[in-house]
C-alpha cells in the first residue's frame, strides 16, 4: 500500500477523557497512564501512531465529551487532508492498520466518493475511523458524548463509508476496565511470543 505524502490525513489521538468507567470498575488513576507491559497505555498507542509515519495531533485538553474533543482537534488541524480518529486507549492498534485506513481515504482501490473509512476485524468494526477533509464542518461542530458516531452513521446511510478489513484485534481492544487492561496485556505478550 502506497500513501501519497502530499495527501496524508492527520491521526487525532483522543486523550482528554476522564476514564470514569475504568475507575468505577476498580481501576486507580488514569486508564491512559495505567501500566501495560512496562509502559503507559497511551504510550503504546502513540508508538503505533509514530511508527505509521502519519502526521498526528494529541488532544489531551479536558473537554466535556468525546464530540467536543474531536471538534477541538479537527479545528486545531483544519488544514489537514482528513483525519483518523483514534481513542488513546487502544494500545494494541498496529501502525499498518493506521496506514490502511489512510490509504482507503486516499481512494487507493476504493470508490472516489468515499467520505469515511473504518477498519473491521473478523466482522467487527473498530477504530480508527477516518474522514476526508470534506467532513470538516460536521466534525468541527460535534459536541457531547457520542463522538463522531452521528457523522459516520449519516455517511453509512449515503453509502460513502469504506470498510477496511484488517488482521488487527487492536482496533477493538480498548481499556475501559482493569479486566480489559489484563486482557490487553495477555494479547500483547502473545503477540510478542511470550
**Under a CB-based contact definition with an 8 Å cutoff, are residues 84 and 126 in contact?**
no
CATH number of the structural domain spanning residue 151 = 3.90.550.10
DSSP, res 32:
G
Identify the pLDDT of residue 22: 82
In a domain, 3, yes or no: no
In a domain, 1, yes or no: no
Identify the pLDDT of residue 114: 85
Identify the pLDDT of residue 117: 96
Each residue's pLDDT tens digit in the chain (194 positions)?
A: 556 555 799 999 999 876 677 877 877 888 999 999 999 999 999 999 999 999 999 999 888 889 999 999 999 999 999 999 999 999 999 999 999 999 998 875 455 578 999 999 999 999 999 999 999 999 999 999 899 999 999 999 999 999 999 999 999 999 999 999 999 999 998 887 76
In a domain, 127, yes or no: yes
- Domain of 100, in residue numbers: 8-191
How many Å apart are CA 11 and CA 194, to the nearest integer?
A: 30
In a domain, 13, yes or no: yes
In a domain, 64, yes or no: yes
Identify the pLDDT of residue 2: 55
DSSP, res 159:
T
Identify the pLDDT of residue 112: 56
In a domain, 142, yes or no: yes
Asked whether the whole model's pTM tops 0.85, one would answer yes
How far from chain centre, in Å, is Cα 105? 14
* Domain total of the chain: 1
In a domain, 120, yes or no: yes
In terms of C-beta density within 10 A (0-12 exposed, 13-18 middle, 19 or more buried), how is residue 71 classed?
buried
CA angle 85, 30, 63 (to 5 degrees): 50
In a domain, 26, yes or no: yes
How many Å apart are CA 161 and CA 163, to the nearest integer?
A: 6
Amino acid at each position: 500500500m502506497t500513501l501519497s505524502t502530499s495527501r496524508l490525513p492527520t491521526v487525532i489521538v483522543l486523550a482528554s477523557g476522564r476514564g470514569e468507567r475504568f475507575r468505577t470498575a476498580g481501576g486507580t488513576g488514569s486508564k491512559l497512564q495505567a501500566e501495560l507491559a512496562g509502559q503507559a497505555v497511551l504510550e503504546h498507542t502513540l508508538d503505533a501512531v509514530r511508527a505509521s509515519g502519519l502526521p498526528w495531533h494529541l488532544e489531551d485538553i479536558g473537554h466535556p465529551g468525546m464530540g467536543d474533543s474531536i471538534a477541538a482537534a479537527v479545528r486545531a488541524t483544519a488544514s489537514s487532508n482528513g483525519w483518523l480518529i483514534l481513542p488513546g486507549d487502544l494500545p494494541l492498534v498496529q501502525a499498518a492498520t493506521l496506514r490502511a485506513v489512510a490509504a482507503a481515504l486516499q481512494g487507493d482501490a476504493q470508490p472516489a466518493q468515499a467520505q469515511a473509512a473504518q477498519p473491521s476485524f473478523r466482522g467487527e468494526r473498530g477504530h480508527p475511523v477516518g474522514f476526508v477533509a470534506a467532513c470538516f464542518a460536521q466534525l468541527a461542530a460535534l459536541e457531547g458524548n457520542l463522538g463522531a458516531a452521528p457523522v459516520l452513521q449519516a455517511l453509512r446511510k449515503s453509502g460513502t463509508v469504506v470498510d477496511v478489513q484488517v488482521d488487527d484485534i487492536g482496533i477493538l481492544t480498548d481499556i475501559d476496565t482493569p479486566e480489559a487492561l489484563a486482557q490487553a496485556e495477555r494479547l500483547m505478550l502473545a503477540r510478542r511470543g511470550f
